[in-house]
Structure 1
């Protein structure tokens, strides 16, 4: 299922007391819509989902969907390592009216490939919403195999995967083995162009908070056959992409947004703010001119 080509994995703005800042959230949503985002993924890793309560997640889902309306799709992160809890959250998100859900590979309990298949199948069968799988072995420890993803793609409402596996051979195998309308999105900004080159649809991006229009332009160049221009843009944007992951995400991207005049507050423990050296490094690649370009 096509959700767009540049989707933003949205941060969750907090106020000075560490509470969700809904005024800042509304401003951030409008900024993202105006600057290249075809869709929003809410309550994922970049949204600090491990530190959000269930009630906070539902409130954020509803607020973002109400703010966006029908302008672009809103995909709610409802996955966890607890199948039953994920079913409940998914069903509540469906009642709110989101456009789809994203389900992360279960972390910590390390299920087998059969366990992964049954986990995702069971959640998908509990909802009528489109389901996007999310494979991220760097955080979940286990890798969902291409064979498991291909098998899951045969379930009617499992329609997409966010691929942060970092293995282009696996990426190509998934694209080759899934239905033509099953979409694959890069889960790493720096892998966007390589993933497109083997048939991927687009990217679920962190960097698009800051360089959304540029990410769109890069994808458009590639899809129009302007490969050299796309590659040149990729090389130009790479230092920014890299800088946004020099510390645990989403700490750098939140700092970058604050630098560029889009206040989103800080991060919740166990994440900590950037130190002075990290801030100086970030400022070198997120210059003041960037504010004018994206605001």
Structure 2
């Protein structure tokens, strides 16, 4: 049995942001804005960025836009942060093409979500991931989010896939904490919390870190949770996680997609974001005001001791 080791360095870093994709007011790709946002995130504690994921509106960006985004962000941050490109689609052939394109554009890894809508059985799902992993030289982070895809990557499937040399990580949005611990106990896969409310809990049982939507606006505050835990101050880590709960809930569980709430708050703070693309619609003023108030409370200094 292979066991996870806390001493093994995470393949993409610990504190990753699922970065929004900035657009211009007319809805075009805003590469200058993407570079500025990436610079801010890396400068404030993110050691990895996930581009063109769920929060990055991957369903409504073109293949060319995805490649341009990777290249532009690589130019902005250099080697200071890992770049993981979302390439997952409902079509194995298309996903393979996107993985190869991401490699050419300068990505350090690829995020591959379960094929959605068609709901393949586990053997077909496993074959899909293996084909994508074989298609490029990049390491793969599997993305388990059955609430969006309709298909769970079952723990036993993940355990088998862990034997593939390029399948190295999981972004976990399964809401199955026991299942995650089973995979952690039996593989060397790096497990990243994909739901911000699980950031500390998963890290405490051997997770690698997080891929966070909320980090778009408060990268330092979320990074501080991991730093406190690593320093052995578990009480402070818990306090910092608890302080972030209000904003996490408003961004992720307000009845709106995290992309909508994150962009609404970023825009209110004067940071690169721009509109969301249809069929998504922007957050209303009341929602943004609530987000801004929670943000202001969170960024107040935390008493020491």
- Return the offset for 1:87: 0.6
- Report what 1:195 is aligned to: 202
- Report what 1:220 is aligned to: 227
1:204 aligned to which of 211, 214, 226? 211
Q: Distance in 1 between matches of 2:64 and 2:171?
A: 25
Q: Distance in 2 between matches of 1:21 and 1:252?
A: 19
Instruction: Check conservation: 1:7, 1:204, Cα contact below 8 A.
Output: yes
- How many aligned positions are there? 291
Q: Distance in 2 between matches of 1:280 and 1:255?
A: 9
Unaligned ranges ≥5, structure 2: 1-9
- 1:155-174 matches, within 5 Å, as 155-174=164-183
Q: Distance in 2 between matches of 1:234 and 1:288?
A: 14
* 1:187-237 residue CA offsets vs partner (Å, 9 max, x unmatched): 111111111122111000011112111111111111222111111111111
Matched, 1:42 2:55: no
Instruction: Check conservation: 1:46, 1:250, Cα contact below 8 A.
Output: yes
Q: Distance in 1 between matches of 2:151 and 2:263?
A: 28
Distance 1:283-1:151 versus aligned 2 partners, 3 A rule: same
- Report what 1:14 is aligned to: 23
**TM-score normalized by the length of structure 2:** 0.92
Instruction: Check conservation: 2:38, 2:77, Cα contact below 8 A.
Output: yes
**TM-score normalized by the length of structure 1:** 0.95
- Report what 2:33 is aligned to: 24
2:99 aligned to which of 71, 75, 90? 90
Q: Distance in 1 between matches of 2:35 and 2:171?
A: 25
- Report what 1:265 is aligned to: 274
Instruction: Check conservation: 2:49, 2:81, Cα contact below 8 A.
Output: yes
Unaligned ranges ≥5, structure 1: none
- Return the offset for 1:289: 8.8
- Return the offset for 1:261: 2.2
- Report what 1:74 is aligned to: 83
Which 10-residue stretch deviates more, 219-228 or 144-153?
219-228
Distance 1:60-1:292 versus aligned 2 partners, 3 A rule: farther
- Report what 2:147 is aligned to: 138
- Report what 2:129 is aligned to: 120
CA RMSD of aligned residues (A): 1.7
- Return the offset for 1:2: 2.2
Instruction: Check conservation: 1:183, 1:200, Cα contact below 8 A.
Output: yes
- Return the offset for 1:46: 0.4
Instruction: Check conservation: 1:42, 1:61, Cα contact below 8 A.
Output: yes
Which 10-residue stretch deviates more, 58-67 or 23-32?
58-67
- Report what 2:7 is aligned to: none
- Return the offset for 1:59: 1.1
- Return the offset for 1:282: 1.6
* 1:31-70 residue CA offsets vs partner (Å, 9 max, x unmatched): 1011111100001000000000111111111111222211
Q: Distance in 1 between matches of 2:292 and 2:35?
A: 25
SS at structure 2 position matched to 1:125: helix
